[in-house]
Amino acid sequence: MAGLADVNSINALIVGANRGIGFGFVQKLLQDDRIDYPEGGTATHRLFAAHREPVTPELSQLAAQYPDRLILVPMDVTDEDAIAAGIQQIRESVNQLHLVIYCVGLLHNEEIQPEKGLQQITTEPLLRYFQVNSIGAILLAKHLLPLLKHSEPSVFASISAKVGSIGDNQLGGWYGYRASKAALNMFMKNAAIEYSRKSPKTIVALLHPGTTDTRLSQPFQRNVPPEKLFSVDRTVSQLLAVINSLQIENSGQFFSWDGSELPW
């Protein structure tokens, strides 16, 4: 047994489950007992959906629909105590997780717009980008180790972005978002090395989802050709196929939605 597709029944945690790609994973993992992935299938036994308050009506409704399988876990990833409390809540109902997907991300909000040039750089938004996009994920890696360390394969995937690739950067701009995703990549590469010693069956990977129709991409969709703008459902299916195909030797690597490897 070397990959997630070899496990018959999994416990999963989706972080950033309120909307967008994270919510899409929650929907997909609940849909069927055995999902028809190209690389095989895995049934979800318990699904933990970590969300920031307030919980969205959509997530809340799903939790009411699947009271035995879906468990809501309040978690603001900028607060380490909240992460620790969320993990403790999970440990009270299961002693192992097989799949964790970090889907939290910030590109813009009411106060923050991605910088077009150096003149727009200020400290506070940069700190916020790093807190949400990078530091939350590595704090999770710290607290999750006891739940991911067991005799079956497990995957800890973080949704990164191709614009976080230093080697691929042709256009510039979006300083904070790009740099925080590059930092996420380095954090997870480092965590993959430490996990390989402490939890040798855990695959730590980074995934680029492709441009997906969510709140995050909404203001930037104008120049995206329709065939390159994926629905959440499509993105989630594609990323689950990549996740199911991962083997232990892929730990510490960065993959695009089609399974191809991306440069750092």
What is the binding site for ligand NAP (CB under 6 A)?
Answer: 16, 18-22, 52, 76-78, 103-106, 132, 159, 161, 209, 211-212, 214-217
CB of 211 to ligand NAP, least distance (A): 4
Looking at the DSSP bridge assignments, the partners of residue 41 are: none
**Is the Cβ of residue 7 or residue 216 nearer to ligand NAP in the bound state?**
216
CB of 131 to ligand NAP, least distance (A): 7
Tokens of 198: 């402490």
Q: What is the C-alpha separation between 97 and 106, in angstroms, rounded?
A: 26
Query: What is the pairing mode between strands 70-74 and 43-51?
Result: parallel
**Is the Cβ of residue 199 or residue 217 nearer to ligand NAP in the bound state?**
217
- On the CB side of 166, CA atoms within 13 Å amount to 8
**Is the Cβ of residue 7 or residue 83 nearer to ligand NAP in the bound state?**
83
For residue 84, which of 140, 14, 150 has the smallest C-alpha distance?
140
Taking a C-beta distance cutoff of 8 angstroms, is the pair 187, 141 a contact? yes
CB of 163 to ligand NAP, least distance (A): 7
CB of 104 to ligand NAP, least distance (A): 4
**Is the Cβ of residue 7 or residue 62 nearer to ligand NAP in the bound state?**
62
* Residue keyed to tokens 């991300």: 105
Report in angstroms the alpha-carbon separations of 142 from 60, 208, 219, 259: 28, 22, 34, 27
CB of 60 to ligand NAP, least distance (A): 12
- Cβ partners under 8 Å of residue 186, min gap 6: none
**Is the Cβ of residue 43 or residue 224 nearer to ligand NAP in the bound state?**
224
